[in-house]
């Protein structure tokens, strides 16, 4: 019977391809890839030669019904993105939704994703965490997200392009103040893998000196309780408790 496999691919180091992921890609009837050229090069290096179909945000509306039809007729489709996990800040979501609607099994494979890889080495609590993907580009639109991260008792994680990193960190520092601990995880699993850790102002100073290059995950430490503002409900409860105590 037809089904959809969601197959993670390496985020830099080709050896992070799992044995099962490779087997699924070899045995699928089709590989649905975001960019067939980029993925073609990677698959070639991994020794995988299989039929590819392009599936990305620009053609997903018309392509999804075609792929659903193929799966209903029994085809096994393996979906990959350019790097890491499909659906995580990548296309693929529509196809998953359509499969669920059409009773086609969706089989996810575990594997590399940049945010989880960064999180486990960040030194910040991994539970709870909030993953934001890419933030909006404009400072004014980023601010509400940073306000939320400022108050959050969870580690916050987001992706940023190298040429926007400094500006985004400036906006974040303006909201957080200079002392919040952050980590910039760069080029994970690659030759130039690096973790820049410290107060946001220190990290900002570093990247103002050394221009950011490569791929980045940014992590923001959870708020300490002192920073956490009291919600209205908490405040009412506190006043009630104090009044009861007299
Ligand atoms: N699907 C991918 C995943 O599972 O992580 C994310 C794809 S998203 C289009 C690409 C962004 O992920 C990059 O701009 C960067 O922020 C982050 N990223 C991907 N690979 C990375 C790496 N090796 N090191 C650091 N960040 C990475």
Give 61-112 pLDDT, tens digit per residue: 889 999 999 999 999 999 999 999 999 999 899 999 999 999 999 999 999 9
Best of 6, 96, 114 for a ligand 1 pocket test (most atoms within 8 Å of beta carbon): 114
Contacts of residues 117-120 at CB distance under 8 Å and 24 or more positions apart, as own/partner, are 117/11, 117/185, 117/188, 117/189, 117/217, 118/157, 118/183, 118/185, 118/188, 118/217, 118/219, 119/155, 119/157, 119/219
- Ligand 1 center–CA 90 separation, angstroms: 9
For the CA of 87, the closest atom of ligand 1 is: 1
CA 28 / ligand 1 centre spacing (Å): 25
State the complex-level ipTM. 0.99
- pLDDT beyond 90 at 231: no
Give this prediction's pTM. Answer: 0.91
Which atom of ligand 1 is least distant from the CA of 113?
4
């Amino acid at each position: 019977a037809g089904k959809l496999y969601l197959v993670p691919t390496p985020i830099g180091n080709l050896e992070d391809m799992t044995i099962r992921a490779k087997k699924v890609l070899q045995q699928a009837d089709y590989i649905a890839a975001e960019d067939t050229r980029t993925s073609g090069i990677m698959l070639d290096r991994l020794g995988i030669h299989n039929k590819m179909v392009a599936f990305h945000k620009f053609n997903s509306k018309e392509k999804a019904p075609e792929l659903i039809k193929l799966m209903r007729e029994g085809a096994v489709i393996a979906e990959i993105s350019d790097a890491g996990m499909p659906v995580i800040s990548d296309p693929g979501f529509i196809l998953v939704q359509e499969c669920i609607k059409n009773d086609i099994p969706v089989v996810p494979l575990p594997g590399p994703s940049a945010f989880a890889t960064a999180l486990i080495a960040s030194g910040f609590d991994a539970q709870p965490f909030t993953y934001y993907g890419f933030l909006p580009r404009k400072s004014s639109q980023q601010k509400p997200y940073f306000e939320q991260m400022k108050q959050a008792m969870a580690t916050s994680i987001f992706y940023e392009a190298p040429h926007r990193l400094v500006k985004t960190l400036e906006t974040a520092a303006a909201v957080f103040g200079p002392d919040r601990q952050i980590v910039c995880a760069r080029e994970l699993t690659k030759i130039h893998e690096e973790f820049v850790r410290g107060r946001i102002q220190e990290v900002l100073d570093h990247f103002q000196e050394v221009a950011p290059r490569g791929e980045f995950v940014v992590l923001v430490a959870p708020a300490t309780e002192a920073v956490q503002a009291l919600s209205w409900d908490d405040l009412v409860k506190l006043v009630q408790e104090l009044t009861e105590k007299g």
